[in-house]
Amino acid sequence: GESVGLHLPTLSVQEGDNSIINCAYSNSASDYFIWYKQESGKGPQFIIDIRSNMDKRQGQRVTVLLNKTVKHLSLQIAATQPGDSAVYFCAENENFNKFYFGSGTKLNVKP
């Protein structure tokens, strides 16, 4: 399958700071991307998505940026909270087909 990888395996931030999690993907035909949050022992939880015809999308405290030129995706979390501590995965999708996941970044939020 396609290769979706992450630059940073672990990210530690102070509570209240902003977090940026990065993701690189390899399939230039991917047209839909999702960020998932996974807490220990649980299934992935949808955070935010973006289509390839957009370069930015904002949620409540999260923003996803898409740079198709360099095939890069990022998730920005504003005012990071202890409850944000989890592993974050990006997933790519082409034409409503299968989702392939990146390797994941563990986010540690220090109080």
Task: List residues near another protein by CB under 8 A.
Answer: 1, 32, 34, 36, 41-46, 49, 89, 96, 98-104
What is 83-107 written as a DSSP string? Answer: GG-EEEEEEEESTT--EEE---EEE
| Whole-number Å distance between alpha carbons of 27 and 30 | 6
**Rounded least distance, CB 102 to another protein, Å:** 6
If the CB atoms of residues 38 and 74 are measured against another protein, the closer one turns out to be: 38
If the CB atoms of residues 98 and 110 are measured against another protein, the closer one turns out to be: 98
**Rounded least distance, CB 74 to another protein, Å:** 17
**Rounded least distance, CB 39 to another protein, Å:** 10
Which residues make Cβ contacts (< 8 Å) with residue 111, sequence separation at least 6? 15, 82
